[in-house]
Structure 1
Amino acid sequence: MSGKYIVVFKEGTPQSEIDQAAKDVEAQGGKIGHRYDTTMKGFSATVPDNLITTFKAHEKVDYIEADGEVSAYAKSIGIGK
């Protein structure tokens, strides 16, 4: 099985290490989605489940979280009426 994840690297991680991690994902059957390089360094990917354990042990990975849709919902509370 595989899942969609966001892999975020620690501040100061060289781009070359992030690029190599992305290549490793693809070499093991994963697919890179979006790359993040402004507010955080990393990428989204569809990753085989067994590869997540490898990334969690990577010393330069800050955190990994499940990727999914996010939506905002605002409820009118009637202010000003």
Structure 2
Amino acid sequence: MSGSSYIVTFKKDTPDEIIDAEVQKAKDSGAEVTNVYKSALRGYAVTVPDDLVTSFSLKHENVEHIEADGEVTTQGKALLG
């Protein structure tokens, strides 16, 4: 599926039932939920098809952040010689 990928995180005290319901709503809307997180991070990863991005809503009072999913790399120098 071609689309835009996001990480949706919920407030830390969000009950599992709310996360499960939001995951199901995303699936019912045509998105692909690729991962659900319920321990250190509470939320899910979702890919929204390009033709649905403008109409797709991830709004919920318990949602803390929504950010584009992507590759993260680290590069650094040794601070001590």
Unpaired runs of 5+ in structure 1? none
Q: Which residue of 1 aligns with 2:7?
A: 6
**Equivalent residues in 2 for 1:35-74, closer than 5 Å:** 35-47=36-48, 48-49=52-53, 50-51=55-56, 54-55=57-58, 57-74=59-76
Q: TM-score, normalised by structure 1?
A: 0.80
Structure with a larger share of its residues in helix = 1
C-alpha deviations, 1:27-74, integer Å up to 9, x for none? 1110011211222200000023121xx22x311101100000011113
Identity, in percent, stands at 33
Structure 1 segments, 4+ long, off by >3 Å, are 75-78
Cα separation, partners in 2 of 1:12 and 1:77, compared to 1, 3 Å: closer
What is the alpha-carbon root mean square deviation over aligned residues? 1.8
Taking structure 2 as the reference length, the TM-score comes to: 0.80
Offset of residue 76 of structure 1: 5.2
**Structure 2 unaligned blocks of 5 or more:** none
Q: How does 1:18-29 map to 2 (within 5 A)?
A: 18-29=19-30
Number of corresponding residues: 76
